[in-house]
Structure 1
Amino acid sequence: MTKNILKYEEKIEEIIAELTIEEKAAMCHGNGLFRTEGVKRLNIPPMKMADGPMGVRNEFPDDSWVPIGYSDDYVTYLPCSLALAATWNKDLAYKSGQVLGNEARGRGKDIILGPGINIIRSPLCGRNFEYMSEDPYLTGEMAVPFIKGVQEDNDVSVCVKHFAVNNQETERLNVEAIVDERTLREIYLPAFEKAVKEGNAYSIMSAYNKLYGYHCSHNKELLEGILREEWGFDGIIVSDWGAIHDTELAANAGMDIEMNVTYNFDDYFFANPLIKAVKEGRVKEEVVNKKIRRILRLMYKLNIFSEERKRGTYNAPEHRQLTLDVARESIVLLKNENNVLPLKDTKIKTLAVIGENANIAHSNGGGSAEIKSLFEITPLLGFNMRLGGETKVKYAKGYSADVSIKEQLINEAVELAKTSDAVIIVGGLKHTAEDLQLENNALSVTKDEEIKRRIDSEGYDKTDLNLPYEQDELIKRVLEVNKNAVVVMLSGAPIDMSEWIDEANAVVQTWYNGMEGGRALAEVIFGDVNPSGKLTATFPRKLEDSPAHKLGEFPGGETVNYGEGIFVGYRYFSTYDVNPLFAFGHGLSYTEFKYDNLEILISEKPDDIDVLVKFKVTNIGEVDGAEVPQVYVSDLEASVERPKIELKGFDKINLKIGETKEVEIKLDKKALAFYNVEDKKWTVESGKFKVLVGRSAQDIRLEKDINIASNYKF
């Protein structure tokens, strides 16, 4: 146990002996939308929670989803998890966690509900922006430092979510994920295992969906078997809000705290029904006592009973600086033909900024990810701040939900583009649907269908990859009059660019990028910052190219069949030779990098394998820059079907003009293994493997075969 909790065990047992079953139950369920009940007579306070991880959500009353509305809950708005992962920078992940933990404690919270580390299975999932990647290795490597940052020195717990196989919003409360054991182990569980074993996460949130016939909150094999017994998790398990449907099943499966979206707190499954179940012998009181032990242990870990507990703070200047640092490194340069970018501000007297997303704040949307941000710099504001009074920045909305003015908006944008020295189009998606004017226009779809088409949000999955509101037509017509117009896509997931990607010379991907997102975008476009972001999810050319839609199902009905198995994301595209629009790991720079001198050293031990991958990277361009070398592994002689390549290591390095650095990335037996369903063990088979080093899953620069002499099972 961490933080010397053993010394509190005697005290914990004394408290449990004093508690009535009514008091125990009160500690195990919500008695407010974001808090449990304490035990005043024993000086046990409630556990206070808040949504994250893009920031600490605004305050609600105990019994209403209408925000309190005071001015004291404005906070730092962090870039979304997908943006953070796009930095491929573990140090920034740690520092982001530090900021979130510090702000959560500053707001008086004990548990921050994040990070979300579910796998991006389909580009349509409405919560992809809250997750990190389609790849379990990258997700785990970025989640672990984030978790440590939140919990270390902040007296705050993460609540890693959503455990497990929660990859869609459609029918999320009841849909059953049909996934085979190997796929579960290789794709959907590894990041959670790292969060527990390496991140030492204090709290886990169970998912809504069913797995192997049971809701995850009722799933004893998942919660007790895998999470506690196999991985050694000693923290608390919190239900997603409304994820429990049965008192006995959830209580006996290892669930600790039930939360919900309703206000009938005494009727929660872990409230009066739990008391009744214990008194009738359907749930043993010792089962409840185990929950109380875990809750009290967490309280001691967080110094809740100590007068020296950390205070924390929020809206600190250094927190805002961190959001800028992350936003700068998250932006991905997708395309830059003829070196259109960076734009030269000295040559631009008039800049046309086109697109509704240039002038929208995104912090207040997305469902539970919404943030009451202290401020938010939009792209339009960022461009104006960057260019100052010497350049005239003119704005045209370009598109809107109101189709009755579509042609007018496009014409205005095209005319502005004709008369400007440079043009930046900012399109994409957004979080909210507050501006829908469907009652007054000619759209033939329902409001709910239109919402699904256009937003990244909890509660909705998109129905296609298309840009909403005739953005494709807008972009094409602007490119006709200015072929060097810079196209910026602002979204939390891949979108279809096929109608105009060949005509666009410069394309930039940005995200829901925090309170400083507009400033960071301007700095990248005008060359103050050399872009270094890399995609963490494959951008397909069309939806049917995505494996969940080609080989599996999405979103299914009562069940959803994960027929693609382990071939998720780039694993599918590389193995089946499907050419993506932009590959996993892709991201250009304003400089060029050369890779050479690949050397691989192998040391086989009785219980492990040490593979040291060494190579050199040189900045051969004309500006300083950062690069993310990626190491992939291919099993050339496997007895089972395996992906053509799998990411197993990466680093982020800064290189000045002409500078060379030697990169060393260590691999172990897990990097070479697959999960063997016959003996329930990870397995490395002797034989030939290929180690590949590149800039993306599609841009491999170096490769070398290696031989493993022995077999390993673990």
Structure 2
Amino acid sequence: MRNKLLALSLGVSFMALTGCQDGSATTGTKTETQEKDIFVGKPMSMEYEEEITKLISQMTLEEKAGMLHGTSMFATSGVPRLGIPELTMADGPLGIREEISRDSWAPAGWDNDFATYLPAGAGLSATWNPELAHTFGSVIGAEARERNKDVLLAPAFNIIRTPLGGRTYEYFSEDPFLNTQITVPYIVGVQEHDVAACIKHYAVNNQETNRGTVDVQMDERTLREIYLPAFEAAITDAHAYSVMGAYNRFRGDYLNENEYMLQNVLRDEWGFKGIVISDWAAIHSTVKALKAGADVEMGTPGPFNEFYFADPLIAAVKSGELAEEEVDKHVRRVLRLMYNIKSIDSTGRAKGARNTEEHFQEAYNIASESVVLLKNDKNVLPLNLEGVKSIAVIGDNATKKNALGGFGAGVKTKREVTPLEGLQNRLPESVKINHAQGYLERYSKTERAKFGDITLDGPVTIDELDPKLLEEAVNAAKNSDVAIIFAGSNRDYETEASDRASLDLPFGQQELIEKVMQANPNTIVVLIAGAPFDIEDISQKSSTLVWSWFNGSEGGNALADVLLGTVNPSGKLPWTMPKKLEDSPAHATNSFPGGETATYDEGILVGYRWFDTKNVEPLYPFGYGLSYTDFEFSNARLDKKEAYAGDETIQVSVDVKNTGDFDGKEVVQLYVSKLDSKVERAAQELKGFKKATVAKGATKTVTIDVPVKELAYYNMENNNWTVEPGTYTLKLGNSSRNILQEVTVQVK
């Protein structure tokens, strides 16, 4: 119910969310009506129930069971004699996964399963641009449809609780509001192409360590305020058609047999009408899981007929342990989804498109808005090529490709522009590139974790530098006018199935960066990674620091355009960069990773909420990111002087002036504080943001809508949302630690 108000801010405030106050968007122009409706999903239709009843009445028990479990790696059975096709699925965090064999994880070896490689989730969220999230969803939805997939196993948007998380690169952010603003338009974009989005991983799946067994414990307020808002909005606003049940336990029960989460919350409270698909091998029972609300079992090891929802389900019905009516209920849900995406009657179903130049351009647009400028003390950037005859390009990440890296889903793509290739594409021929690899991506010969065998250690790196490569890198830096070192991580090191053991940069990069900076003071450090690292020493010693991501097919071109000033950076960090691991809340409370049980002792103080409330200084705060220009905020004001009632919306306006020499985009972030609250609250919470495009010398008024009910906390005494009356401070800034304007409001 509370997230209906998020839909209001998502839909009505489209113009300001994208920062296009004149109505123009970054990838096209939309009418006022489209602006209001673009982020509102299409509810699942119930008009097919009579036809579904007729189909179920004609099916055998064996046919019904076949629709409720995998009969290949990524599909369930159809019933051809009744015109019911298979339900096909595809992984999709980075683009549509290459085709694999029907009965194993081995690649199928097709030559027509290429796809657009899209920026990873951390990069998408770093744009702070909901319209680009819609674009992302639309692109990947169209590509899934062209590959004849029915369900896209994405987006993944669990809260980033620890910077060590193996899937931080894939997830969106540490903040429930930012997660919601990215998640909803993404889902809408996918499902516009008659493909069901499968939101994951429901729920509280915030670590890879022991993910298959760990029992997560937290109070109800923490669950409702931090870990569920984006899932609720995905159901009530975007109308996602499917949900993936997570691996872990919650309050004792596995998520795929957790009646409270699957029935009480998901269906009874939120009104979910679609299907719950288990994560692969996340089902542990037949009767309990089915009755709790799981609908489709996928990925369980062993022959397909031995899945819990296969022969054991049939046996349970025949023995009387399970009523066939219970089976019918789940089959109905699957058929309902299939009718809604037009997979049974394909009349008018979207055709889709894949590997188009338009899609590569959209991948570029997302990547170019995701790059974060962390430091630019000497204004080395954008690169002034006047008098520059040579540039050293150093580091394995200058040529590293990430589309197919790591455990989990990869993308077989025809195009992945590396940073080196991007610079080669963009630099004039008069500038010589002196390339040096610098370091080797090396791992120990000890056996790495098998998929699903979760360890905290993950891949063990060899961190000594190769003397010859180091010498080549130092010489390249000495003999060039400018040096750019591309360091960071990759998708073999940041990966599903393991959390990192520390925040240390791998492969000896710390030493390499220091020696390159000593060899050439004009050194630009570019870090490519999906999660925080310990870069405090590098940050202190370098004058110029850029953060990029696993950024898709056009990532290298986008990064080169930022370095050269064709694109003014506008990315903002979607998580807090700590000075040391112990500063992060899950580690400060010694509650990560836990053992059999993980108790979230930090409660609601996740991410910047902890840092700001506990007065812990981060290295770089949540929402941080510089520009090549400067912005001033002034004249913050409200739409009225009187107190606001609970059903009203607070309208906050601020003037943003571009005082520099470049056109640019700034993200106006609105945080809310209530100092005299009767309950524990974070020092401040993000409750609104808008990305504004402001020409140099110009001033633009940015208006943010905050429904009063967004100020509520979850009251555990009555299990409801409560808005405290009184005074609230609305803080406007360009990061959680750089507040530039404040206004106070009274709430009745």
Q: Output the TM-score relative to the length of structure 1.
A: 0.94
Q: Secondary structure at the match of 1:363?
A: coil
- Residue identity in the other structure for 1:34: F
Question: For residue 14 of structure 1, what is the aligned residue in structure 2?
Answer: 54
Question: For residue 239 of structure 1, what is the aligned residue in structure 2?
Answer: 278
Alignment match of 2:651 (pick from 591, 612, 617): 612
Q: Secondary structure at the match of 2:427?
A: helix
**1:467 counterpart = 2:475:** no
Question: For residue 314 of structure 2, what is the aligned residue in structure 1?
Answer: 275
Change (3 A) 1:405 1:624: closer
**1:516 counterpart = 2:576:** no
Moved more, 115-124 or 554-563: 554-563
- Residue identity in the other structure for 1:422: V
Alpha-carbon shift at residue 403 of structure 1 (Å): 5.8
Rounded to whole Å, the distance in 1 between the matches of 2:612 and 2:251 is 30
Alpha-carbon shift at residue 669 of structure 1 (Å): 2.6
- Residue identity in the other structure for 2:547: Q
Question: For residue 563 of structure 1, what is the aligned residue in structure 2?
Answer: 601
Question: For residue 701 of structure 2, what is the aligned residue in structure 1?
Answer: 662
Matches within 5 A, 1:355-434: 355-400=395-440, 401=442, 406-432=466-492
Q: Secondary structure at the match of 1:629?
A: strand
Please say if residues 144 and 199 of structure 1, whose CA atoms lie closer than 8 Å, have aligned partners that are also in contact.
yes
**1:297 counterpart = 2:336:** yes
**1:332 counterpart = 2:332:** no
Moved more, 595-604 or 78-87: 595-604
- Residue identity in the other structure for 1:204: V
Q: Deviations over 1:330-355 (max 9, x none)?
A: 00000110111111123321110111
Rounded to whole Å, the distance in 2 between the matches of 1:358 and 1:626 is 27
Matches within 5 A, 1:484-563: 484-563=522-601
Matches within 5 A, 1:335-346: 335-346=375-386
Moved more, 398-407 or 344-353: 398-407
Alpha-carbon shift at residue 4 of structure 1 (Å): 7.8
Alpha-carbon shift at residue 657 of structure 1 (Å): 0.9
Q: Secondary structure at the match of 1:489?
A: strand
Unmatched runs of 5 consecutive residues or more in structure 2: 1-40, 443-461
Q: Deviations over 1:670-699 (max 9, x none)?
A: 321111111101111111111000000000
Alpha-carbon shift at residue 178 of structure 1 (Å): 1.4
Alignment match of 1:147 (pick from 183, 187, 198): 187
Q: Percent identity?
A: 48
- Residue identity in the other structure for 1:56: I
Please say if residues 643 and 745 of structure 2, whose CA atoms lie closer than 8 Å, have aligned partners that are also in contact.
no
Unmatched runs of 5 consecutive residues or more in structure 1: 433-454, 710-714
Q: Secondary structure at the match of 1:99?
A: helix
Rounded to whole Å, the distance in 2 between the matches of 1:367 and 1:669 is 43
Please say if residues 53 and 112 of structure 1, whose CA atoms lie closer than 8 Å, have aligned partners that are also in contact.
no
Question: For residue 449 of structure 1, what is the aligned residue in structure 2?
Answer: none
- Residue identity in the other structure for 2:534: D
Alpha-carbon shift at residue 2 of structure 1 (Å): 5.4
Alpha-carbon shift at residue 99 of structure 1 (Å): 0.3
RMSD: 1.4
Please say if residues 646 and 723 of structure 2, whose CA atoms lie closer than 8 Å, have aligned partners that are also in contact.
no
Alpha-carbon shift at residue 56 of structure 1 (Å): 0.3
Alpha-carbon shift at residue 541 of structure 1 (Å): 0.4
Question: For residue 70 of structure 1, what is the aligned residue in structure 2?
Answer: 110
Rounded to whole Å, the distance in 1 between the matches of 2:432 and 2:599 is 54
Question: For residue 177 of structure 2, what is the aligned residue in structure 1?
Answer: 137
Question: For residue 441 of structure 1, what is the aligned residue in structure 2?
Answer: none
Q: Number of matched residues? A: 686
Moved more, 333-342 or 402-411: 402-411
Alpha-carbon shift at residue 479 of structure 1 (Å): 1.2
Please say if residues 650 and 705 of structure 2, whose CA atoms lie closer than 8 Å, have aligned partners that are also in contact.
yes
Please say if residues 179 and 561 of structure 1, whose CA atoms lie closer than 8 Å, have aligned partners that are also in contact.
yes
Q: Secondary structure at the match of 2:164?
A: coil
**1:706 counterpart = 2:745:** yes
Rounded to whole Å, the distance in 1 between the matches of 2:365 and 2:622 is 22
Alpha-carbon shift at residue 212 of structure 1 (Å): 0.7
Alpha-carbon shift at residue 405 of structure 1 (Å): 5.3
Question: For residue 686 of structure 1, what is the aligned residue in structure 2?
Answer: 725
- Residue identity in the other structure for 1:276: A
Alpha-carbon shift at residue 279 of structure 1 (Å): 1.8
Question: For residue 688 of structure 2, what is the aligned residue in structure 1?
Answer: 649
Rounded to whole Å, the distance in 2 between the matches of 1:552 and 1:8 is 51
Q: Secondary structure at the match of 2:566?
A: coil
Question: For residue 122 of structure 2, what is the aligned residue in structure 1?
Answer: 82
Rounded to whole Å, the distance in 2 between the matches of 1:6 and 1:477 is 65
Question: For residue 18 of structure 2, what is the aligned residue in structure 1?
Answer: none
Rounded to whole Å, the distance in 1 between the matches of 2:368 and 2:164 is 26
Please say if residues 44 and 274 of structure 2, whose CA atoms lie closer than 8 Å, have aligned partners that are also in contact.
no
Rounded to whole Å, the distance in 2 between the matches of 1:524 and 1:165 is 36
Question: For residue 195 of structure 1, what is the aligned residue in structure 2?
Answer: 234
Question: For residue 579 of structure 1, what is the aligned residue in structure 2?
Answer: 617
Rounded to whole Å, the distance in 2 between the matches of 1:387 and 1:118 is 39
Q: Output the TM-score relative to the length of structure 2.
A: 0.90
Change (3 A) 1:507 1:251: same
Q: Which runs of 4+ in 1 moved over 4 A?
A: 1-4, 402-405, 602-607
Matches within 5 A, 1:144-183: 144-152=184-192, 154-183=193-222
Rounded to whole Å, the distance in 2 between the matches of 1:605 and 1:306 is 50
Moved more, 60-69 or 320-329: 60-69
- Residue identity in the other structure for 1:8: Y
Please say if residues 393 and 436 of structure 2, whose CA atoms lie closer than 8 Å, have aligned partners that are also in contact.
yes
Q: Deviations over 1:207-228 (max 9, x none)?
A: 0000010000010100001000
Change (3 A) 1:345 1:42: same
Please say if residues 686 and 708 of structure 1, whose CA atoms lie closer than 8 Å, have aligned partners that are also in contact.
yes
